[in-house]
C-alpha cells in the first residue's frame, strides 16, 4: 500500500509541475487549438497536454526499479511489460503527430490497430468472453479481432468523449480508481501500481484541464489514455470470477463506450459520413438541453461513478445478482438515452419503417418484386408500341392517372474529342434513320387511366406532376431520347411511400431500353 501511495503522489506532483511547462512550450511552437463552431472553448488553448500526462505517469514507474527487490517482484516477472510500453509510446506518438500536423482518419485507425497488435503479440489479449449463467465463450482464433476491436473502441471512445473541459480526464480518472481497487482486491499489484500512477497524473492534469481549461490533452493524451485503459483492464481482469472477466471494465467505461458505438450509427441514420466529426455526442446533447459545460461534465461524472460502483460490486456478485445488476444498468442507460434524446430514432414506428425500406431495397418485398416484373417486360419490348404498352401497365400499377411520352431528335454531348468526336458525328449521320424508326421525327404517346378523362383535368389543383427526362450516358456520351410527363390525383389516391423511387426505376429502365433499340437499329442498319 505504501508503494501505491508513493506512486500516486509522485505522478500527481509531476503533473502539477509539468502542465504549465508543456503549455508554454505548446504556445511557443504554435501547437494550439483555436475556437470553432463545433468546439466549446472560446480562447486559444494548447493541445498537447498528453505530453504532461505520459511523463507524469512514467516518472514514478521509472523511479520504482531503483528498488531492486520491488523491480524483481513487480516488473521483471511480467513479460508483457515491453509490449505494453512499446504500444503505449507508439500510440502516443501517433496522437502527438496528429496534434501537430493532422493525420487522415484511415491512417490513425491503422496506427491504432498496429499498437493493438503489438499488445496482442505480447500476450495482452482477450481470450474468453463471459456472460451471466454461462462458463464463458473461448474465442480461439477470434481472440485477435476481438482484442483489436477492444483497443480501437476504447481509444476512440476516450477521444470522442474529449469534447468538454475535463470530461475525458475525469471519466478516465474514475475508471482508473475503480480498476485500482479491483486490482488490489485481486492482488494484481503491478496493474494496481499502473492505475495508481495514471490516477495521480489525471488528478494533477485536471487542475489545469477542468473548466475553464488552460490546456487540452489532445489526441496524444486521449490515445495514450485509451490504450492504457484498454490494455491494463485486460491485464487486471479477474479470470477466476464468473461473468466478470471483461465485464468490469466494460461497465466502468460505459459512458464513453456507448457514445463511441452510437456515434457512427447516428451518423449513418442521418446520412452523414460514419466517421466524420459532428456535434451529436452525449456531452453536446446535454449542452443543447441548456446545461452549462460544468454541469454537463458533472452529470456524466455522476453516471460514471455509479457505473464504477456497479463494476466493483460485480467482483462479489454471484451469477443471479450479476444478471440483475446488468438489467438495472441496461434500463438506466436506456432511460438516460431517452432523456437526452439519443434514442429518438429507435421507436417502434421508425424501426418498422427501416425494416420495410431494407426489404424494399433488397428486392424482398412483394411490391418491389411486382414492379420488377413490369421493368422486365419493358426491357424485353421488341418495338416502340410494345414498349409503350408495358410502360402504361407499370404506371397503372403505380396508380398514376395520366402519362405522356415525347420522343424527339437525340442530342449528343460529350466531354472528350478525337475518336469520341468522330463517334458523335457518326451517330448524328444516322439520326434521321433512327427518327424514322420511331415513326416520325417527333413522336408523342398519351395514356389516361380513365379513358373518359378530359385534357382540362391537368389544369386542376391537387395533382402530383412529375417530369422525367429520359437520358442515357455511356463512354462520356449523353443521349437524350425524350421526356416522360406524369400526373396523379392525390385527392383520390395518396402517393405511396415508394412512388417516387419507383418512378426513378421506371425512368432508368425506359432509358436503357430505348438505348438498346437505338443500338439494335444501328447494327441492323
The 10s digit of each residue's pLDDT in 49-96 is 889 999 999 998 887 765 555 555 555 566 788 899 999 999 999 999
Residue 384 in domain:
yes
Kindly state whether residue 154 falls inside one of the protein's structural domains.
yes
Q: Which of 211, 232, 252 is nearest to 87 (CA)?
A: 232
On whether both 119 and 242 belong to a single domain, the answer is yes
Residues 9, 154, single domain; the answer is yes
Query: How far apart (Å, rounded) are the C-alpha atoms in residues 525 and 514?
Result: 16
Helix or strand run (H / E) with residue 174: helix 167-185
Domain co-membership, 86 together with 209:
yes
Q: How far is Cα 501 from Cα 26, in angstroms, rounded to an integer?
A: 54
Q: Are residues 11 and 142 in the same domain?
A: yes
Q: Domain containing 443: what range?
A: 366-524
Smallest Cα–Cα separation from 391: which of 408, 374, 371, 407? Answer: 374
Cell of 166: 475535463
Q: Percent of the chain scored above 90 by pLDDT?
A: 18
Sign of the dihedral through C-alpha 216, 221, 223, 228: negative
The set of cell numbers assigned to 102 is 493532422
What's the grid cell of residue 430?
444516322
Which of these three, 195, 221, 251, is where a domain ends? 251
Phi, psi of 450 (to 5 degrees): -110, 115
Domain boundary among 227, 251, 275: 251
- In this structure, are strands 477-489 and 402-414 parallel, antiparallel, or unpaired? antiparallel
My answer on whether 372 and 240 are in the same domain is: no
Residue 426's pLDDT band, with cuts at 50, 70 and 90, is very low
Q: 369 or 240: whose pLDDT is higher?
A: 369
**89 within a domain of the structure (yes/no):** yes
Question: 358 lies in a domain?
Answer: no
* Three-class SS state of 162: coil
237 close to 229: Cβ distance less than 8 angstroms: no
Please, is 413 exposed, middle or buried when counting C-beta atoms within 10 Å of its C-beta (0-12, 13-18, 19+)?
exposed
3-state secondary structure of 96: helix
What are 113-134's pLDDT values in tens digits?
999 999 999 888 887 776 555 5
Rounded distance, CA 228 to CA 89, Å?
10
Are 491 and 410 in contact by the 8 Å Cβ rule? The answer is no
Element (H, E) at 312: helix 293-313
Does 313 map to a domain?
no
**CATH number for position 452:** 3.30.450
Same-domain status, 158 and 19: yes
86 in any annotated domain: yes
Predicted confidence band of residue 428 (pLDDT cuts 50, 70, 90)? very low
Q: Which of 236, 251, 266 is the last residue of a domain?
A: 251
Residue 346 lies in a domain: no
| In-domain check, residue 16 | yes
State which H helix or E strand residue 487 sits in. strand 477-489
27 with 165, same domain?
yes
Reference 228, options 186, 189, 193; nearest CA is 193
pTM of the full structure: 0.62
What's the confidence (pLDDT) of residue 62? 81
What's the pLDDT tens digit per position in 252-286? 777 777 777 776 666 665 556 655 665 666 666 77
The answer to whether residues 301 and 168 touch, using CB atoms and an 8 Å cutoff, is: no
Q: Please state, in angstroms and rounded to a whole number, the distance separating the CA atoms of residues 437 and 459.
A: 33
- 382 and 247 within one domain: no
**Per-residue pLDDT band at 12 (split at 50, 70, 90):** very high
Q: Which residues pair with 472 in a beta bridge?
A: 479
Domain count, the chain: 2
Q: Tell me: cis bond preceding 212? Omega within 30 of 0 counts.
A: yes
Amino acid at each position: 500500500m505504501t508503494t501505491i501511495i508513493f506512486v500516486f503522489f509522485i505522478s500527481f506532483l509531476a503533473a502539477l509541475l509539468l502542465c504549465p511547462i508543456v503549455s508554454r512550450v505548446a504556445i511557443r511552437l504554435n501547437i494550439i487549438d483555436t475556437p470553432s463552431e463545433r468546439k466549446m472553448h472560446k480562447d486559444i488553448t494548447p493541445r498537447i497536454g498528453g505530453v504532461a500526462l505520459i511523463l507524469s505517469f512514467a516518472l514514478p514507474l521509472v523511479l520504482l526499479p531503483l528498488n531492486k527487490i520491488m523491480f524483481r517482484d513487480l516488473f521483471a516477472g511480467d513479460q508483457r511489460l515491453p509490449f505494453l510500453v512499446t504500444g503505449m509510446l507508439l500510440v502516443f506518438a501517433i496522437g502527438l503527430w496528429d496534434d501537430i500536423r493532422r493525420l487522415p482518419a484511415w491512417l490513425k485507425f491503422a496506427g491504432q490497430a498496429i499498437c493493438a497488435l503489438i499488445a496482442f503479440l505480447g500476450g495482452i489479449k482477450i481470450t474468453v468472453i463471459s456472460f451471466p449463467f454461462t462458463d464463458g465463450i473461448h474465442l480461439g482464433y477470434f481472440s485477435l479481432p476481438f482484442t483489436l476491436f477492444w483497443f480501437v473502441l476504447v481509444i476512440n471512445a476516450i477521444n470522442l468523449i474529449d469534447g468538454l473541459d475535463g470530461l475525458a480526464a475525469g471519466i478516465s480518472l474514475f475508471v482508473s480508481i475503480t480498476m485500482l481497487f479491483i486490482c488490489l482486491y485481486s492482488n494484481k499489484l503491478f496493474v494496481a501500481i499502473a492505475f495508481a500512477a495514471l490516477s495521480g497524473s489525471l488528478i494533477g492534469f485536471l487542475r489545469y484541464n477542468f473548466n475553464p481549461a488552460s490546456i487540452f490533452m489532445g489526441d496524444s493524451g486521449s490515445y495514450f489514455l485509451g490504450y492504457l485503459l484498454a490494455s491494463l483492464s485486460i491485464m487486471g481482469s479477474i479470470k477466476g470470477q464468473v461473468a466478470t472477466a471483461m465485464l468490469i471494465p466494460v461497465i466502468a467505461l460505459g459512458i464513453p463506450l456507448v457514445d463511441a458505438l452510437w456515434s457512427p450509427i447516428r451518423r449513418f441514420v442521418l446520412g452523414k459520413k460514419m466517421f466524420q466529426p459532428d456535434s451529436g455526442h452525449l456531452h453536446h446533447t446535454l449542452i443543447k438541453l441548456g446545461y452549462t459545460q460544468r454541469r454537463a461534465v458533472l452529470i456524466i461524472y455522476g453516471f460514471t461513478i455509479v457505473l464504477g460502483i456497479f463494476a466493483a460490486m460485480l467482483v462479489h456478485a454471484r451469477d443471479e445478482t450479476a444478471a440483475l445488476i446488468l438489467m438495472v444498468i441496461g434500463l438506466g442507460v436506456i432511460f438516460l438515452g431517452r432523456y437526452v434524446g439519443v434514442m429518438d430514432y429507435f421507436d417502434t414506428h421508425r424501426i418498422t419503417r427501416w425494416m420495410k425500406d431494407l426489404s424494399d431495397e433488397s428486392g424482398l418485398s412483394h411490391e418491389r418484386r411486382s414492379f420488377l416484373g413490369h421493368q422486365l417486360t419493358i426491357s424485353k419490348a421488341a418495338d416502340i408500341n410494345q414498349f409503350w404498352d408495358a410502360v402504361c401497365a407499370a404506371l397503372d400499377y403505380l396508380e398514376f392517372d395520366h402519362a405522356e411520352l415525347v420522343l424527339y431528335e437525340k442530342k449528343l454531348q460529350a466531354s472528350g474529342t478525337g475518336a469520341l468526336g468522330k463517334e458523335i458525328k457518326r451517330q448524328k449521320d444516322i439520326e434521321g434513320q433512327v427518327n424514322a424508326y420511331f415513326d416520325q421525327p417527333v413522336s408523342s404517346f398519351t395514356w389516361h387511366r380513365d379513358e373518359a378523362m378530359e385534357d382540362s383535368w391537368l389544369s386542376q389543383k391537387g395533382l402530383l406532376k412529375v417530369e422525367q427526362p429520359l437520358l442515357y450516358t455511356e463512354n462520356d456520351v449523353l443521349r437524350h431520347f425524350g421526356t416522360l410527363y406524369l400526373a396523379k390525383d392525390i385527392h383520390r389516391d395518396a402517393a405511396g411511400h415508394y412512388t417516387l423511387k419507383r418512378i426513378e426505376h421506371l425512368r432508368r429502365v425506359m432509358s436503357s431500353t430505348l438505348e438498346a433499340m437505338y443500338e439494335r437499329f444501328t447494327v441492323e442498319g
